[in-house]
Copies of this chain bind each other. A is one copy, B any other.
Amino acid sequence: MDELKSRIRKDGTVINSEILKVDRFLNHQIDPQLMKAIGKAFAIHFQNAGITKVLTIESSGIAPALMTGLEMNVPVLFARKKKSLTINEDSLTTDVYSFTKKVHNTVLLEKDTIIKEDHVLIIDDFLANGEAALGLTRLVELAGAAVSGIGIVIEKSFQQGRGRLDRAGYAVYSLARIASLNDHHVQFLD
């Protein structure tokens, strides 16, 4: 997606060879028009996948997931990272490790929000090691539903996540694929 790549070049900051900071348009400050274009791109790519729900994980996945759900006219769900008093005990949970924050999170989804008949599109802002995306696939599968696609805004292709998702057989579509962040430079894959 050219608009996204230009924006990464313009407003992204390479912190080191593993971390790209995009908090000026994606995960702290959000550009709503760019998010709308991102939602449209996912909706077009997965238009024939029979998607009935979009699933993401709080917080940075919510904006692109919401815009995708708006375009596809399906509900959006966000998995939560810890228990709130207003979420009942009847939840599906899985464990996800965050390499960025160096913490294990219990990620949870209320049991009846995804049903067996659902075809779920998983959306996330970043794909690095694949921990979050794989955690979301486990929640969908615990609900007995099908993962019908995984849409990623920015894929760090030099990390292992993409390979893990591909090997597991998921249909992955990333809007920007980054081959390397070496020398403080963003090198895209294509």
Contacts and interface: CB of A to CB of B under 8 A. Distances in A.
B23 A87 contact: yes
Interface range for A: 35 or more
Given A85-B102, A87-B23, A29 B70 contact: no
Nearest to A23: B110
- Most-contacted residue by chain B among A36, A62, A74, A101 (CB, 10 A): A62
A189 interface: no
- Most-contacted residue by chain B among A15, A33, A75 (CB, 10 A): A75
A69 interface: yes
Contacts of A23: 86-87, 110
A93 to B, nearest CB: 14
Given A58-B59, A86-B100, A75 B29 contact: yes
A139 to B, nearest CB: 12
A151 B117 CA distance: 37
Interface stretch (A76-84, A152-160, A175-183): A76-84
A46 to B, nearest CB: 15
Nearest to A83: B101
Interface in A7-60: 15, 19, 21, 23-24, 28-33, 35-36, 58-59
A24 B114 CA distance: 11
Nearest to A101: B84
Interface of A: 15, 19, 21, 23-24, 28-33, 35-36, 58-59, 62-63, 66-67, 69-70, 73-78, 80, 84-87, 100-102, 109-110, 113
